[in-house]
Amino acid sequence: MSSKTIKQKHSPEKQSNLIYSFVTGVAKTAGGTILGITMITSSIVAGGLVGLAISFRNLPDVRVLNNYVPSETSYIYDIKGRLLTSLHGEANREIVPLKQIAPELKQAVIAIEDSHFYQHQGINPYSIGRAAWVNWQRGSVTEGASTLTMQLVKNLFLTQERTFSRKLAETIIAMRVEQVFSKEEILYMYLNNIYWGHNNYGAQTAAETYFNKSARELSLAESAMMAGLIQAPQQYSPFINYNETKRRQVLVLRRMRDLGWITPAEEEAARKEPLLVNKPTAWRASKSPFITEAVTAELKEKFGDNKVLQGGMRVQTTIDYYFQKMAEESVKEGHRKIKSWGVRAEQVALVAVDPRTHFVKALVGGVNHDQSQFNRATQARRQPGSSFKPFVYYAAFASGKYTPDTTIEDSPVKYRVPSGYYSPKNYSKDFAGEMSLRTALIQSRNVPAVKLGKAVGLDRVIKISRILGIKSPLQPVISLPLGSIGVTPLEMAGAYATFASNGWHAEPTIILQVTDSEGHTILENRPKPKLLLDPWSTATLTSVMKGVIAEGTGKNADIGRPAAGKTGTTSSERDVWFVGYVPQLATAVWVGNDNYKTLGKGVTGGSHAAPIWRSFMLKALEKEPVKHFPAASQFDKP
């Protein structure tokens, strides 16, 4: 049963009749004994509520509970349903139907909190009489007489202050609730709202926290323990005072036995059953923090903070937990290795995207999340260096004016810029003269890339970059073809994934599907790729980039199967990259420092980022069949 489907039991006009019938019913049962006098006294108190209720014009209308949806915890899972983390605001809660709560827990709660729950109509006259006498003697509200209904009312509508006026309001609203809702509906709301300690609200979340199981699976011993927590969850917590927890459990079991709801043998067995409690889930960290933080950021952007933290979302990511762990280990291993070579690199980031769906398959934002939570995979815009050049070469091939065999001069050139003149230089500091575009890209010559970018138009290069999903700010400066403007590893992996799919593009996503707590889909990211690049030009570019690995600057990325990619090294060796792909996976690796300090003389993408890429890809593709890229000859030249 959902809180959205609760129906009214009685009309509001019948509410006053309840109080009258309650009073007369109690009076008929009263005798000459002290108990009878107490009941009559209680009846007088209850009857007086008829007149007093008139003055409570501002009390909430309990009918709003028909549409009441309490805040719920949201959960993030990997693509195979493994829980990665939970997100919640002040209340960590998961709503479940009453039928999904163990009968033992229902009985235990009713036994210790309100054993006359199914007999009264919101208030218990016996308890009221006893509490009224004690409170009158002490001159303040020191003892309660709360039924489950009154506790529910207090939690949903009222403050926690202990005053007569609040208690009176609680009583009146409780009687109204009993008129509008059935006992099962009240119990459903109660068990899904009550606080169980350690920021856990509702039976389901508490059961998962304490016993790592659903509320449906609780044993009698476990149910009795949980019921015993309600009165003072922190004081009786097994994580704080296990002896008090057991004492309360025994009290609940004894009460259940006295009521005849369990046998002495069942009581004894439950008392002896060991309580295998877990560390609270509210204290657990995410299993994949870089993933869950990226997911949370995307969700908040789409739905807002409140919906994410209180809306009970069920988020299925595109990540396989074990694949992600493999990527994290590859980053750590690669970092240890390059540090052992004397490279002054503090951080490595890696992003892998499936070209067939553009689903993000792995995302590692740094070497150690515990030491630094900054997600460099999605948040750090770093110069991509020569790994940006393929966007320029694709633009040239797609223009129909160039082929890999077209020649270009690798010779000195000077451009006028606002600050004076700009003369691009090759990494080797020399010039090679006339060469083909294929050779220029394979050898990663800078001057030909700048000349080609100027020839095809820098605005055209930017347009291609936007088509490929680069959202970072780009300006048509002369040095743009050399990757002088920052982008993120996620953007680069997503763009290269489009090359890998021979021009089919979709927006990279880390979220596959989002549903609410009742299973209704509120976000669907099933793959819907569109052909956005020219097939001949893309296949041609891939054939050239295969040469980068086979004979060029990316030899250290050779994985023994058809693969294409490009190295990237920025000036002063501040950032080094390798971005490459096979038909099933595109991966970007960045190495650098958050403070932009140099990595050391001679550090390049080919020598330091490519080995990390190779190590990861060998593991990632271990069970994947070898696939070949389509040949350019299969398509018409533009």
Residues with catalytic annotation?
Answer: 113, 386
- Measured over the CA atoms of residue 549, residue 555, residue 556 and residue 558, the dihedral's sign is positive
Other Cβ atoms less than 10 A from the Cβ of 279: the count is 12
Structure tokens at 551: 């004979």
Q: Is 169 helix (H, G, I), strand (E, B) or coil?
A: helix
C-alpha gyration radius of the chain: 34
Structure tokens at 263: 């046998």
Structure tokens at 23: 């009073």
Decide if 562 contacts 582 (C-beta within 8 A).
yes
Q: Concatenate the DSSP letters of all residues of 2-40 into one string.
A: -GGG---SS-GGGHHHHHHHHHHHHHHH--SSHHHHHHH
- Give the ranges where 232-319 is alpha helix by DSSP (H): 242-258, 264-272, 289-303, 305-310
- The C-alpha atoms of residue 1 and residue 77 are separated, in whole angstroms, by 25
Q: Which residue has the tokens 């021979």?
A: 502
Strands 407-410, 92-93: pairing is unpaired
- The C-alpha atoms of residue 613 and residue 165 are separated, in whole angstroms, by 69
Other Cβ atoms less than 10 A from the Cβ of 507: the count is 10
- The C-alpha atoms of residue 240 and residue 188 are separated, in whole angstroms, by 29
Decide if 177 contacts 157 (C-beta within 8 A).
no
Pick from 526, 478, 468, 473: nearest CA to 500? 468
Look up residue 402 and give its amino acid.
Answer: Y
Paired residues of 511 in beta bridges: 317
Most distant CA pair in the chain: distance in Å?
A: 117
- The C-alpha atoms of residue 507 and residue 358 are separated, in whole angstroms, by 7
Instruction: State the helix-helix crossing angle for 148-157 and 164-180, rounded to 10 degrees.
Output: 110
- Measured over the CA atoms of residue 322, residue 328, residue 331 and residue 332, the dihedral's sign is negative
Instruction: Give Cβ neighbours of residue 334 (< 8 Å, ≥ 6 apart).
Output: 348, 589, 611, 612, 615, 616
